[in-house]
Chains A and B, each alone.
Chain A
Amino acid sequence: MPYRRSIWRTLHYKPKRKFTFLQTSYRCFSCSLNVGQVQQNKSKDTERMTHFGFATVPESEKVLKVGAVFSSVATSYDTMNDLMSLGIHRLWKDSFVRSLNPGSRLPRHDIDNKSNGWNILDIAGGTGDIAFRMLDHATNINKDRETRVTVADINSDMLVEGEKRSLETPYYKSGRLTFMQANAESMPSIPDNSVDLYTVAFGIRNFTNKQSALVEAFRVLKPGGVFACLEFSRVSNNIFNEIYKRWSFSAIPLIGQVVAGDRASYQYLVESIENFPSQKEFRGMIQAAGFMIPGQGYENLTGGIAAIHKGVKPVLKM
């Protein structure tokens, strides 16, 4: 009898029980990786859930939450990028634009002599970083003054910031640069088969549904058009990865707090990087949207901290 009672007590007072009162229904962003992953599997309710960093939120909420993050960092976006990548993001963006060579003469331009310039769509490019580089490259290196860029972003604060910066470029009011507010997952105002180059730099990891954005990209691109995505990705070297992860989760939110006064946004950003699929997985998603993958499909930058993914819309054989 006493033995059975002590077994009951052992079961009753298991070590695990110590943690029950610690499981708060409220979770801040910076809980452990493992706890975050466990919670993902739990909620398959009626409302479709998605990631917001390590938290799991209803899809409808994610757009608002991401919006809040970017509205708050819009004016200090450059500072944020400089902190997160120690200034290397400028080199990445330069390399990205150079490898795409916008404004160069394409075979299809010889066929339809409508315009020599490219029609570039830059998604989630609110502050205009990529757009300005594209126009500079086309104008100065390829001597092409007809290439035009449309900058689309879901966040109006980022667009306002981009418009402000465009005042200092020679493209302001030149007709070559337009800003529009749009959700990459559905852009009815852009006709099918109209875009030569679709770019998205450091934006796609914030999308609620990446696959829909890829499908939409496929729709708007001309046959032979290029989809190019520059995004944070998985580091290949293990030791470097450990250092990088510790820098991301420890130093970046701290610097965000001290410099920008916003720890939560930076915490979200590093968590969203962690959640982004690996290079091969993302290449698979691009392929699933119908794109043809050139070569390996991705190119690692700085050891895999960032990666450029490319896909080409196949030309239909007559």
Chain B
Amino acid sequence: MLLFLRQRAGPLTARTVTFQTPPAGIYIASRSFSVLNRPPPNYPGHVPLTPIERSALAVGSAIGSLLNPRRAGVSNLSLLCNCLFLPDLIAALGETTATPYFIYRLRDAMLSSPTGRRILRDRPRITSETLSLPYLRSLPFNTVGHTYTTWLDREGVSPDTRDRVQYIDDEECAYVMQRYRECHDFYHAVTGLPIMVEGELALKAFEFLNTLIPMTGLSLFAVMRLKPAERERFFSLHLPWAVRSGHASKELINVYWEEQLKRDVDDLRAELGIERPPDLRQIRRFLKEQRKREKERAQAPRTVSHV
């Protein structure tokens, strides 16, 4: 079929050109082009890259994300300082490493499920405009919507509009990647993991086993940047959890979140096969208080004897 497109159309081939819209995305991607003469974009915001550019950007964004966690979408700062949050590098890494195989696999996983097919047909977007937070907060306790807003308030984040996908050539796959990016916060809410490095890495491990997007696997290299106690917790607690849940759960990309907002969250978790990990913020707070008490105890005898 592709060959027919490349030949000059003559009287004979005219009969074969009967399908409505030839798969333009594939047509463009199969031709190599010069950087001085890029093909027109397949969707708004599309930037066609040559293979060399793509690999250079993948390497560059991988190194950049490791060196600068802020641009990897990790906020290590306090809840108050969530400004200057530019997760563009991790987005670029995700897009450049998603082809050739992984994003197509994810798209096919969506096509294999009836809900996934509906999502691909409806193309819903989750932005700060499409979600009405006051309405979600008003939903009954333990619904998906309420859990989501509770998590947002607890972490002190807002559902900011995510970066647009730029570097994926196929238009449908670009939407799949965009959908994954926008649903990320919902995954956080349903698992209850916080936004600090530990929580993000645990969630990335879970996502890797669920969606097989290479960026999620590659970002696990950031485990090297964790403190020793955090790293130990990661390997003993979160990685096993991610493996258990990631394997057992259904494809998260197929969840039509907009329809699940009023549903009971435990019900959804049971259906998806997600096990809730232990509350990381509580663990950390508990450990911090424990350390503080030990410190006070160590100092106390000295002051008593002084009196």
Contact = CB atoms under 8 A, between A and B. Distances in A.
Q: Do the two chains belong together in a single complex?
A: yes
Interface stretch (B30-38, B224-232, B246-254, B263-271): B30-38
B37 A34 contact: yes
Contacts of B41: 24, 26-28, 31
A41 interface: no
Interface in B45-74: 45-48, 50, 52-53, 56-57, 60-61, 64, 71
A111 interface: no
Contact-residue size bin, chain B (C-beta under 8 Å from the other chain): 35 or more
Q: Is chain A's interface secondary structure helix, strand, loop, or mixed overall?
A: helix
Interface stretch (B14-22, B203-211, B279-287): B14-22
B86 interface: yes
Contact of B53 (A10, A14, A24, A254): A254
A258 B67 CA distance: 11
B60 A258 contact: yes
B8 A254 contact: no
B44 interface: yes
B131 interface: no
A15 interface: yes
A249 B36 contact: yes
A261 B71 contact: yes
B196 to A, nearest CB: 22
Interface string A11-40: 011110010011110111011111100000
Contacts, number: 89
B53 A32 contact: no
A33 B82 CA distance: 40
B162 to A, nearest CB: 14
A215 B188 CA distance: 60
Contacts of B44: 24, 26, 28
Contacts of B11: 6-7, 9-10
Contacts of A12: 14
A261 B86 contact: yes
Q: Is chain B's interface secondary structure helix, strand, loop, or mixed overall?
A: loop
Contact of A28 (B17, B46, B88): B46
Interface residues of A, number: 34
B63 to A, nearest CB: 8
A250 B35 contact: yes
A23 B42 CA distance: 9
A74 to B, nearest CB: 15
Contacts of A9: 11, 14-15
A6 B36 contact: no
Interface string A163-184: 0000000000000000000000
A137 B126 CA distance: 57
A261 B5 contact: no
Interface in A21-80: 21-24, 26-28, 30-35
Interface of B: 5, 8-11, 13-15, 17, 21-22, 24, 27-28, 34-41, 44-48, 50, 52-53, 56-57, 60-61, 64, 71, 86, 88-89, 92, 166
Given A258-B60, A263-B166, 14 more contacts: A7-B11, A9-B11, A9-B14, A12-B14, A13-B14, A18-B5, A27-B40, A31-B38, A31-B40, A33-B37, A257-B61, A258-B57, A258-B61, A258-B64
Interface of A: 6-7, 9-10, 12-15, 18, 21-24, 26-28, 30-35, 245-246, 249-251, 254-255, 257-259, 261, 263
